[in-house]
Structure 1
Amino acid sequence: MGVTVPHRLIEPYPRFSLYNSPYPAHDDASGIDLYPDSNVAISPVEGVVRGSRTVGCPDREYAVDHDHVIAIDVDDDWATETGLVGGGPLTARVLHVDPSVERGDRVTIGDALGEMVRSGFFGPWVDNHVHLEFRDRDVDPYRASGSHRLTVGGAIEPVPWDGTGNVVETGSTYVRLDSPRLAGPHRSGANGTYAGLASDDGIPLDGGLTHYGGGGAFLTGTEVLGTRDTESSGSTTRTGPERAGTIDRPAGETLSLLGEPIGAAEKRSDNACLEEGTGWTTVTWRDVAVYANGDPVTGLSLFLTRRSDPGIKIVWRDHGLSVGDEVTVSIRPTDDPIRLGPGR
C-alpha cells in the first residue's frame, strides 16, 4: 500500500526529492526529502509527538557523527481533511532534525521541530533537509524499514535544458548553474507549481544522475516546454524554450537526456506509484557518464522546485570554477559508471 502526500503538506518547502539519495528509503520512494528556506526544521504534519531518538551515523569531517529520529502520530481528522491518504492511522518519521519538541507536544504544519543537523549520512554537496516517511501506527517508528511507498499529489512541470549555463554558486564538491530556467508563465512562491529537469521528451526527472544508480520519473500527460529538434541515434527529440503541447508516456520506456539514453522507467507495479499511468516511477540509470566542459564529473543532482530559476547542481569535486564561468554538459556511454554508496 502507498501513501499519497498532498500538495498542501509540502507547500512550506521550496524543494523536494523522492529519489536523490543512495539510501533504501529513496530506492522505492518510501521517503521524501524536504528543503526549507532556513535551517529551522518545520513540521510537515499535524499531530502529537510520540518521542525521539538519537542515532549514530558515519563520522565525516564536514558533518556531525549523530542524527535524530522524531516520531509524530498524525492526527486522523487532519489527515483526512488534507488528503493524506493511507490505509489507516499513520506515524510520521522525521530525520535530520535536532528536536526542540518533546513527547506529548502537539504540532501543526509550520511549527518548529528544531534545528536541522548536517548529518554524516549526507554527501558533502547535499543541502540540509528534513527527511519524512510514513508508516502504520503499530509499526516501530525507530526501525529503519517499514515505511509506505509515497507519491506526491499534483502535477510536476517539465523544464527542458540544452546542457549549457553559467555558474551562480560554488562549493568544494559542486557548482550550481543559472539554467535551466522556466519559460513562459509560471507561478512561483508559496503556492507555485513544482518543476523538474525534463528528459528529451518532456518527462520530469529526480535523483542523482547517475551516481546513485537509480532515480525517478513523473509520468503523466505532461506539458512539454520545447520544440527544438535534435538528432540522436536516428531519433528526434524535442527540447527548447517554447511550449509544445501535451504528451502521454507509459512506464517502461527508455528515457534520454541531451541526446543520450540514460535509463528506463519501471513498469512493474511494485516499483511504481502509478494511478492510471500517472505518478512517480523508478528509473534505473544506464551505464553513462556525465561530462562538464569535457571533464568527467560525479553527476547531476536533480530535485523538484517551485523556484523560477531551478538551475542544475553538478556534483564536481575540485572543479576550479568561479561564479560567472560558462559550463557545457554532455552525457556519454561508459563501461565504468560512477556509483556512490551512502555518504560518499
Structure 2
Amino acid sequence: MTDPPEATVALPAAVVEWYEKFSRFNSPYPAHRRGRAVDLYPGDGVGRSPVAGVVRAVRTVGCPDRPYAAAEDHLIVVDLADKWCARAGVPTGTVARILHVIPEVSPGDRVAVGDALGPTTRSGFFGQWVDDHVHLGFRPPDANPFRASGSLPVAVDAPVEPVAWDGTGAVVERGPTHVVLGAPRRGDGERSFAALASDGGVPLDGGATHYAGGGAFEIGSETPATGGSEPAALEPGDAVSLFGTPVGTATEHGSEAAVGAPRIEWDPVDVLANGERVVGLSLFAARGDRFGVKLVCPDREFSVGESVTVEVVPSDDPIRLGVG
C-alpha cells in the first residue's frame, strides 16, 4: 500500500503581495532546493506574518557563527486557521514554521496575514549579501514542527513577469559583498512581480550559479516576456541559457524534485563582471523600484554609477557554496 500524495501548499498571491521580493530556490538548504520553503522579503525590517492562525510555540535556536550575523535565530510555530488552510489547499491542522524574526508574539496569540510578528534579524543561516527576510515552511498535521526536515511542498500562486536583459547596467547600490545593478528595465506593471528572464523567456530564481541548483517562477498568461514574444513553459529536461550560454537543465519532477515550477540544475559555468570572475547572481522575484540584478562579489569592488557588463562562460572549476 502506497502512502497518499503530499499536499502542496499553494501560497496565495494576496500573501506575497505584502512583501517586496520572494524566492523559493535562492538558498543552499535542502528545503529550498526541493521547493519546500519560500523566503519573503519585507524590505522595511518588519517580519510580517504570511499566515493566519494561533501561535503554538516560540523558540530560540542556534545558527552558524558569522561575523555579520546575530548569535541566535528564532522559530515561530503557528497552527493555521481553517480558512487559511482551505484557501491554500491543505488539510486542517497544517502548521507553519517561520524563521529569521525576533518574536514579539507569544503562544496563544492570534495572528492574521500582514500582522507584525517582530523585527527581522540578520541570521547566520544566510549569506551577508542576502537581505533580511521571513523564511516560511509548513508541516502536515501531527508532524513534529520542531524538526529541521519534513516540510511540505510549497507553490506560490503569483505570476512573475520575465524581463529580458543584455547583461549591462550601472551600479545603484553597494554592500560589503554585493552590488545591485539598475537593470534590466521592466514593463509598466510596477506592482506586479518580475524576474530576470532566461534567453527563452523564463523568469529565473536562485543563486546562479553559486548554489548547485536554482529554479523558475510561474509566468502567467498576462505577463509575456519583454520584447513581445510569449515564453514557453519550462518543462523537465529542457535546457536553459543566459546571455547566449547554456547554464542549466530543468530537472524531472518526482518525490525528491521541486514541485510547481521546475528546479534547474546549474551547469559548470562562471559568472564574469567586466571580465573578472565573481561569485554569481542572486535572483528573485521583485516589484517596484527594488527590481534589479544583485551581483555577489565579495572579492571585487565596484563604485556606485560604474558600468558593469555581466557574462556567463563555461568553467572547469565553478564556484559552489554549501551550507557550512
Partner of 1:239: none
Query: Are the aligned partners of 1:201 and 1:224 in contact in 2 as well (CA < 8 Å)?
Result: no
1:312 aligns with 2:288: no
Shift of 1:196: 1.0
Matched, 1:62 2:62: no
**Would the aligned equivalents of 1:210 and 1:299 in 2 still touch at CA under 8 Å?**
yes
Q: Specify the alignment match of 2:236 in structure 1.
A: 251
What is the identity, as a one-letter code, of the residue corresponding to 1:315? V
Matched, 1:329 2:310: yes
- Give 1:181 deviation, angstroms: 1.8
Superposed, 1:105-124 pairs within 5 Å as: 105-124=109-128
Task: Give 5+ residue unaligned stretches, structure 1.
Answer: 227-241, 274-278
The alignment status of 1:48 with 2:88, answered yes or no, reads no
Query: Which of 260, 272, 291 is equivalent to 2:272?
Result: 291
Pick closer, same or farther for the CA change 1:27–1:153 going to 2, 3 Å: same
Q: Any conservation in 1 of the 2:202–2:232 contact (CA below 8 Å)?
A: no
Would the aligned equivalents of 1:135 and 1:146 in 2 still touch at CA under 8 Å? yes
The one-letter amino acid of 2:277's match is P
CA RMSD of aligned residues (A): 1.6
CA distance in 2, matches of 1:30, 1:6: 15
Deviations 1:23-60 (A, max 9, x none): 11111111100000211111111100001111111111
Structure 1 position 26 matched with structure 2 position 32: yes
Q: Which residue of 1 aligns with 2:80?
A: 74
Which of these residues, 173, 178, 188, is aligned with residue 169 of structure 1? 173
Query: 1:302 & 1:245 partners in 2: Cα distance?
Result: 21
Structure 1 moving runs of 4+ over 6 Å: none
Q: Distance in 2 between matches of 1:73 and 1:219?
A: 28
Contact 2:97–2:136 (CA under 8 A) maintained in structure 1: yes
Alignment partner of 1:225 is 2:229: no
Cα distance, 1:308–1:200 mapped onto 2, change above 3 Å: farther
Aligned partners of 1:53 and 1:142 also within 8 Å: no
1:147 aligns with 2:151: yes
Q: Counterpart in 2 of 1:301?
A: 282
Paired with 1:125 and 1:47, the residues of 2 have a C-alpha distance of: 32
Q: Normalising by structure 2, what TM-score?
A: 0.93
Contact 2:160 2:219 in 1 (8 A): no
Matched with 1:7 is 13
Tell me by how many angstroms 1:308 deviates: 5.2
**Which residue in the other structure is 1:202 paired with?**
201
Residue 133 (structure 1) shift: 0.4
In 2, the alpha carbon distance for the partners of 1:122 and 1:26 equals 12
- 1:272-306 C-alpha deviation (Å, 9 max, x unpaired): 42xxxxx4111100000000000000000000112
Contact in 2 for aligned 1:219/1:251 (Cα 8 Å): no
Q: Is the 8 A contact 1:116 1:129 kept in 2?
A: yes
Q: CA deviation at 1:219?
A: 5.5
Q: Work out the CA distance in 2 between the residues paired with 1:30 and 1:272.
A: 7
Shift of 1:11: 1.2
| TM score, norm. by length of structure 1 | 0.88
- Structure 2 distance, partners of 1:338, 1:193, is 32
Compared CA separation, residues 160 and 259, structure 1 to 2 (3 A): same
Displacement of 1:268 in angstroms is: 2.3
Match of 2:94 in 1: 90
Deviations 1:111-146 (A, max 9, x none): 111111111111111111000001113111111011
Give aligned pairs, total: 316
CA contact 2:199–2:241 (8 Å) conserved in 1: yes
SS at match of 1:243: coil
* Contact map agreement 1:68 1:99 (CA 8 A) in 2: yes
Secondary structure at the counterpart of residue 140 of structure 1: coil
Q: Are the aligned partners of 1:46 and 1:74 in contact in 2 as well (CA < 8 Å)?
A: yes
The CA distance in 2 between the partners of 1:73 and 1:96, in whole Å, is: 18
Structure 1 residue 180: Cα displacement: 0.7
Aligned to 2:3: none
2:253 is the counterpart of 1:268:
yes
Cα pair distance change 1:224/1:200, threshold 3 Å: farther
Aligned pair partner of 2:162 in 158, 161, 167: 158
